[in-house]
Structure 1
């Protein structure tokens, strides 16, 4: 029998070669800090972990029988591992979360954030402008943020317009104005474009705005107060009244949004984090305070929560107490989120986290980061609001997911489909879109895992058919997509959808049936969504390719709601693609005006000769030469400009 602290013998003949190699690698590990990765037979990453002692931590996974637990299920899949030795536990923590974000392991809590944070930008200029900005920063300009949402940036810009009246117009507009715009008339700009304010005075307003954004509101108000008194003493009462209005607006904002420190200072920059775990899902709600102003909150919903929290018994074995799932989720968020974004000096947390994590953040950022879990007023009020937000957003997510799962089940039951696992039930839906035969496109949208999978959407340009022939377009897109898919299935690298929806009735279904019959695909997969009487929403009927009678599900049917949702998404996706293609064609044609040597007369001749913009774009150099007044050099220039 294996001793509790010993590994199974790596030379046991009962073990397969891969397992013997794995156990040999485990036995050879050093007792140093590092990061380890487990891989399955398909070379997919199962888990990424960190350890103060690699040998001790990794060995613990193989020293006992974990039974049918999630840990046991994972360990049974491991065929190889990789390790990286680092100098400290803090380095291991940072590397671990970098790898988690890069490799997307199955048994780790994973936070995805595909959107970069927006900033408020003050562009470098003699008269700097304020602007909403998202992207990489340029050192020539000043950036304030990040902000949790676009709305928060725009709200801040509106506030600064009211108080400091800085311009927001593009430089091209600014350089060509001869009279002030509407923003000047409504006292949202001081009119620097027409020299209604001196460079020095405008620079002072910019400096005050920057100080305000940095949290130095008291200093700004003192300066404004002094300026108001100077104007009043000089009997410049209109200017004094303007500054009085600025002070009033600032006072109102500060009263509503400032966060006063209970120790006598001001909390200028802080992030407030609250976590809620329920029903196998989790929400981390992040609220931001910048420059003493509460900028709003933003929810994050991690994946793999159930699998990852089940790993805590092994991964957290070195701690005196096992952390709750909420703590694990919060620690994962802090580690992953602040790898790619700046960390403020204060984190107000709903749950306490490992001190080593906060120390690692301090080392990485170069600033002293403090975590506070038991704040007093008014930070307590901000934390309570954040906790409530996390609770509401997770409840809404669970409600939405529950209704989507119910709709999937309703559709499977209504169509009497065989679905072993609803979580992997896959629907693909097709729609054809064009305008009078121009810019025909087919769209394919995918529903899987109880939600639309936008990353798997595809558009197909339809060519070589008569304009407006939707049947031929449907034949082409289905043939192109499923001929490749059949080959992938035969090669063992793909799978067919469980249901294929086509937007249309008997005609479209008949065309889909022909394609599937030629490719040897089960006809039961095809369902057409036929408009009901008067084309009214809720009266749609389902048409089948295998000869079954049409089915009307009922206007309040959960199954019909799902079909309508997917069909409408396919239509939306096709329409946007068609419009973009059509706009591209027309925009390309409009570039005729920008080609040197093509004046109004030659442009008119070209359009008349080829029947419009698209015809000119499709013409060859030889075709262009046939137009009166078009030389070979000009024809080649036109062709280059439009291709």
Structure 2
């Protein structure tokens, strides 16, 4: 560290604030916050950092500036604004999806209520953002059914209406608008509806429902039954909507909920706003990591971003863990049970789904990305040395001890490579000896690959438990490649994974993609082996019964099996049926063979 930077650090005050690092070109490369500026900035230069990215950052710092603020919350807000403005290379980057829909109540005469994706500073009032377009459209449909407000874009100022140039449209005739364009509805009456709509959008459906019910009773007492019936329809409409909406509890919660998830490159934060027990706002966003930022700092940054953007004033915030943040008059809660715990779980489901959807979208554009991700999962879950781009799996088949065969299936980049599949007729094993069979076929397979100088797999999977795995390992040792190629066994009963010379199995999550690939390998090897085994048994059966008959050639055999499907049916067929296909002479040969065999 040069004397210029030392001098700056010596004079930095021990107060909360934000610091900015500049490179040799005077460009901001990092913005940070600190409860104690002096301690935080000094720490970058006074110790060795484990993270390579941090070491690179420190090596590029040529100047330091700082801004002092009053509170810790202010440091977060300032940091957030500085990152947005300068987008420093080594800071997290907010991946802001501006496509989330909101509902706007326009700032105009006879305000319209519409879906929008643009938040303009024109005095209009915005509600949302909402998780998806269908939910917004459903809500708008309900509002327009409950309150007949205009949807046209006419300029309905008092002067324009007085000019008498407008005419009512179809919306008026189907009773979805009360005709303010021709003076049939007053601005006061329209704005009463707008106030009720605002309460619905805020989640205060109980208040709207109660008001409608009170007005309905008043009209009924005055024997204005027709008007009362209209209000009854509205009341039932609101009640039905309440039942379908996401109401968390009868307790009138007014809280914010945040959940967090991350991967190697990004952090994801979901925000739910609950007002009067109902979820009225949902938003998920992503921070692109640049350094190894701790999750408590990222969550704190997200909370400040949301409160700044949506103007939330909630005094209680539900979180999965405590953020690196203290706010005056605000309590952070980690619930263990009850409604708040359910809310947190709901938010967690949303953030995980957002992360999954983003991943699926990326993988749909680049299918190889999914394959690489799954292989990385297997590499991590099985603690392998190398990425398993080439996997081979062995399975034995011998039904009732007959025709012992084995199958080897090959997966490349996590997908079946069927042209590389191989099957083996067992040569040295008599009877149902699974261990000896596995020992033979594994030896034959890799002896052949070594002779041909073909590439070996990074992972061998054995269908079976400790016994089959040990037998396979013996063959690898005999070939001198034990330890050079990873090998595991997968047992059928509990899907446990066995390692060589380790009696304690590994249990993978039943929903993990690593286990699903191993199961696919095992099932594919079993299918391929069983198919080959059945073919072998069929050939042997046909050979033992028909090929031993002198005078019956391949063409005769083919005609018989095509017609009767099996040797058993040929035995039971009448002479006339056989003669139609192969003639009297060959029919006599077949009949004599089976009679001699049974005598």
Give TM-score, length-normalised by structure 2.
Answer: 0.53
Q: For 1:556-567, list aligned pairs within 5 A.
A: none
Specify which of 197, 200, 206 is matched with residue 212 of structure 1: 200
Matched, 1:37 2:20: yes
Structure 2 counterpart SS, 1:83: strand
Change (3 A) 1:192 1:347: same
| Matches of 1:150 and 1:186, distance apart in 2 | 29
Report the structure number with the largest CA radius of gyration. Answer: 2
Query: Which of 260, 272, 289 pairs up with 1:287?
Result: 272
Q: Structure 2 unaligned runs (5+)?
A: 372-599
Distance 1:86 1:199 in 2: 47
Change (3 A) 1:108 1:357: farther
Alpha-carbon distance between aligned partners in 2 of 1:245 and 1:334, rounded to the nearest angstrom = 41
* Residue 239 (structure 2) aligns with: 251
Residue from 36, 49, 59 that aligns with 1:66 = 49
C-alpha contact 2:318 2:332 (8 A) present in aligned 1:
yes
Label 1:233 to 1:25 Cα distance change in 2 as closer, same or farther (>3 A).
Answer: closer
Q: Does 1:189 align with 2:177?
A: yes
Q: Is 1:328 matched with 2:297?
A: yes
Cα deviation per residue 1:58-104 (whole Å; 9 max; x = unaligned)?
11121123366332232222222222233443433332222122222
| Cα distance change on mapping 1:79 and 1:202 into 2, 3 Å | closer
In structure 2, the partner of 1:273 is 258
The answer as to whether partners of 2:269 and 2:286 remain within 8 angstroms in 1 is yes
Q: Give the Å deviation of 1:303.
A: 0.9
The size of the alignment, in residue pairs, is 363
Q: Answer yes or no: is the 8 Å Cα contact 1:111–1:336 preserved in 2.
A: no
CA distance in 1, matches of 2:12, 2:188: 67
Structure 2: distance between partners of 1:220 and 1:136:
28
2:357 is the alignment partner of 1:396:
yes
**Which of 286, 295, 301 is the matching residue for 2:286?**
301
Partner of 2:36: 53
* Aligned with 1:28 (options 4, 7, 11): 11
Q: In structure 1, which of residues 126, 129, 139 is the aligned counterpart of residue 112 of structure 2?
A: 129
* Structure 1 residues 573-584: aligned runs within 5 Å: none
Tell me by how many angstroms 1:150 deviates: 7.6
Report the CA distance between 1:244 and its aligned residue. 1.0
* Alpha-carbon separation, structure 2, partners of 1:129 and 1:401: 38
The residue that corresponds to 2:212 in the other structure is: 224
Gaps of 5+ in 1: 1-9, 11-18, 313-324, 360-367, 411-643
Distance 1:257 1:358, change over 3 A: farther
Aligned to 1:342: 311
> Does structure 2 retain, via aligned residues, the 8 Å contact 1:273–1:287?
yes
In the TM superposition, residue 249 of structure 1 has moved relative to its aligned partner by 1.0
- C-alpha distance 71-144 of structure 1, shift in aligned 2 (>3 A): closer
In structure 2, do the counterparts of structure 1 residues 304 and 66 end up closer, same or farther at CA, with 3 Å as the change threshold? same
Structure 2 Cα separation of the partners of residues 396 and 202 of structure 1: 41
Q: Could you say which residue in structure 2 is the equivalent of 1:237?
A: 225
Shift of 1:36: 1.4
Q: 1:276 Cα shift? A: 0.8
Distance in structure 2 (CA, Å) of the matches to 1:56 and 1:29? 9
User: In 1, Cα distance between the equivalents of 2:216 and 2:322?
Assistant: 49
Instruction: Give the deviation of 1:146 after TM superposition.
Output: 3.8
Partner Cα distance (2:325, 2:75) in 1: 11
SS state of the match for residue 286, structure 1? strand
Q: Contact between 1:48 and 1:100, CA under 8 Å: does it hold in 2?
A: yes
Q: Does 1:353 align with 2:322?
A: yes
Task: Say if 1:78 and 1:285 are closer, same or farther in 2 by CA, change over 3 A.
Answer: same
Q: Quote how far apart the aligned CAs of 1:380 are.
A: 3.6
Q: What residue number does 2:127 align with?
A: 145
Which of the numbers 36, 55, 68 marks the counterpart of 1:85?
Answer: 68
Q: CA deviation at 1:121?
A: 0.9
RMSD across aligned positions (CA): 3.5
- Equivalent residue of 1:338, what SS? helix
Give 3-state SS (helix, strand or coil) of 1:30's partner. coil
Counterparts of 1:172 and 1:124, CA distance in 2:
8
How much has 1:304 moved relative to structure 2?
Answer: 1.8
Rounded Cα–Cα distance in structure 2 between residues aligned with 1:281 and 1:108:
12
1-structure distance, mates of 2:185, 2:363: 59
- Please state how far the C-alpha of 1:407 moved relative to its aligned partner: 5.5
5 Å matches for 1:369-384? 369-374=330-335, 377-384=338-345
Q: Do the aligned partners of residues 24 and 229 (structure 1) sit closer, same or farther apart at CA in structure 2, a change above 3 Å counting?
A: closer
- How far the C-alpha of 1:391 sits from its partner, in A, is 1.0
